């Protein structure tokens, strides 16, 4: 059967680092509070000349170089983002243009922090359905642009960045020993909208708006939702937590990551954590974390890797891939 196999990865971060200490000058907060409640020590913030499209392009070029491919080899771009450059056209199309691609097709996917899991699952369906041969799946965000920098309950949590994977349709045996995406579970429940949303939009206020969140409410639901979809993927593939080489979670909060791993019985040594360095970069956080763990040699070809995320909507999902 056809599997969508990862053949390259890449990442991009803005030039500017914003430490917790620097945030103390912006809002009434402390390094100690932020570290203790979230595990975040710093985040990257885009300058005026850095956008979701420019960071996404940089991550895409890095992933192509890692795969030994050029834009000519790609026929699909799926960009997960909630912070597009414009309301339309899709920022994926802008990235396609920046890469000099005149062929293929590109679109954005909006599932907030679960965006990258949704984008991977969607690209997988396009590749397995024969619509495309090779896809760039990108998560890119500039959440700094939709933060209320006077709201200490949200502005300390998020950061900017981008990551990308190249997926290629390859013939595999059809077992869990195959390389590639093995299974995914996606969920959403719009009744939780008010707990995490942006208070603007083209069809309502005509403005971009700012992120609003009831942090404690999000926290309350996160671990249960995450573990539910991961267990669903285990059941669908006949695998267990013991089979996993790596859990690569969405990097929202160290306490959510630890709580989910503990509930699933996954030792923390098998969990890739980058929230301390990047903060919550929404749809970019998983490919950024993958990039770090591939660069430092933790994730290797053949490893069984579980991706998971939960975010605004609520949306949540998990995806199992053999690297
Ligand atoms: C946001 C979060 C870190 C807050 O931690 P918490 O333990 O729930 O803290 P609370 O919201 O109950 O606030 C506790 C106190 O800290 C204060 N506080 C909030 N933000 C603060 C900050 N940046 N610095 C210092 N104090 C802060 C609150 O005002 C409150 O003070 P009070 O007790 O005097 O009213 C936590 O709820 C969380 O991580 N939620 C999930 C958020 C998330 O990951 N969202 C993205 C999902 S994709």
* Minimum CA distance residue for ligand 1 atom 46: 252
By annotation, the residues acting in catalysis are: 113, 250, 280
- Determine the distance from the C-alpha atom of residue 41 to the mean position of all C-alpha atoms in its chain, rounded to a whole number: 19
pLDDT of residue 301: 98
CA 252, CA 263: separation in Å to the nearest integer? 17
Q: pTM of the entire structure?
A: 0.98
Q: Is the CB of 218 under 6 A from ligand 1?
A: yes
Q: Is the CB of 107 under 6 A from ligand 1?
A: no
The CA-atom distances, in angstroms, between 171 and each of 1, 4, 127, 168, 310 are 6, 9, 11, 10, 31
Q: Is the CB of 212 under 6 A from ligand 1?
A: no
What are the residue ranges in the chain where pLDDT is below 50? none
Ligand 1 midpoint to CA 216 (Å): 7
pLDDT of residue 55: 99
Domain at 180-322, CATH from 1.10.287.110, 1.10.10.10, 3.20.20.140, 3.40.47.10: 3.40.47.10
Ligand 1 midpoint to CA 124 (Å): 37
pLDDT of residue 107: 99
Strands 211-213 and 196-198: what pairing? antiparallel
Ligand 1 midpoint to CA 279 (Å): 15
Q: Is the CB of 153 under 6 A from ligand 1?
A: yes
| Ligand 1 atom at minimal distance to the Cα of residue 250 | 48
> Is the CB of residue 108 less than 8 Å from the CB of residue 84?
yes
| Ligand 1 atom at minimal distance to the Cα of residue 27 | 23
261-284, pLDDT tens digit by residue?
999 999 999 999 999 999 999 999
| Ligand 1 atom at minimal distance to the Cα of residue 152 | 23
Every domain of the chain with CATH number 3.40.47.10 lies at 2-171, 180-322
Q: Is the CB of 32 under 6 A from ligand 1?
A: no
> Is the CB of residue 106 less than 8 Å from the CB of residue 53?
no
pLDDT of residue 181: 98
Q: Is the CB of 252 under 6 A from ligand 1?
A: yes
Ligand 1 midpoint to CA 28 (Å): 12
Fold of 2-171: Peroxisomal Thiolase; Chain A, domain 1 (3.40.47)
169-187, pLDDT tens digit by residue?
999 999 999 999 999 999 9
209-261, pLDDT tens digit by residue?
999 999 999 999 999 999 999 999 999 999 999 999 999 999 999 999 999 99
pLDDT of residue 126: 98
């Amino acid at each position: 059967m056809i599997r969508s196999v990862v053949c390259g990865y890449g990442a991009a971060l803005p030039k500017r680092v914003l430490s917790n200490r620097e945030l103390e000058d912006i809002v009434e907060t402390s390094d100690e509070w932020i570290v203790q409640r979230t595990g975040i020590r710093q985040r990257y913030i885009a300058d005026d000349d850095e956008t979701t499209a420019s960071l996404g392009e940089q991550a895409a070029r890095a992933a192509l170089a890692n795969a030994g491919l050029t834009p000519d080899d790609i026929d699909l771009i799926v960009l997960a983002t909630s912070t597009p450059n414009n309301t339309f056209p899709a920022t994926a199309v802008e990235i396609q243009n920046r890469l000099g691609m005149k062929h293929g097709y590109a679109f954005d996917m909006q599932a907030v922090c679960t965006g990258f899991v949704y984008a991977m699952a969607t690209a997988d369906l396009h590749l397995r359905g024969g619509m495309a041969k090779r896809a760039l799946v990108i998560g890119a965000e500039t959440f700094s642009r939709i933060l209320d920098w006077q709201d200490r309950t949200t502005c300390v949590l998020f950061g900017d960045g981008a990551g990308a994977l190249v997926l290629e349709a390859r013939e595999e045996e059809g077992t869990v020993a195959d390389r590639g995406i093995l299974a995914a579970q996606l969920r959403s429940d719009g009744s939780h909208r008010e707990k995490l949303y942006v208070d603007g939009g083209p069809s309502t206020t005509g403005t971009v708006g700012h992120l609003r969140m009831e942090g404690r409410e999000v926290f309350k639901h996160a671990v249960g939702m995450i573990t539910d979809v991961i267990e669903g993927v285990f059941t669908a593939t006949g695998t267990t937590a013991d089979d996993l080489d790596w859990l690569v979670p969405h990097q929202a909060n160290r306490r959510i990551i630890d709580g989910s791993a503990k509930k699933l019985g996954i030792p923390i040594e098998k969990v890739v954590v980058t929230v301390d360095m990047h903060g919550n970069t929404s749809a970019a956080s998983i490919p950024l974390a993958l990039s770090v763990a591939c660069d430092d040699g933790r994730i290797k070809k053949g490893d069984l890797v579980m991706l998971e995320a939960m975010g605004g909507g609520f949306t949540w999902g998990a995806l199992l891939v053999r690297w």
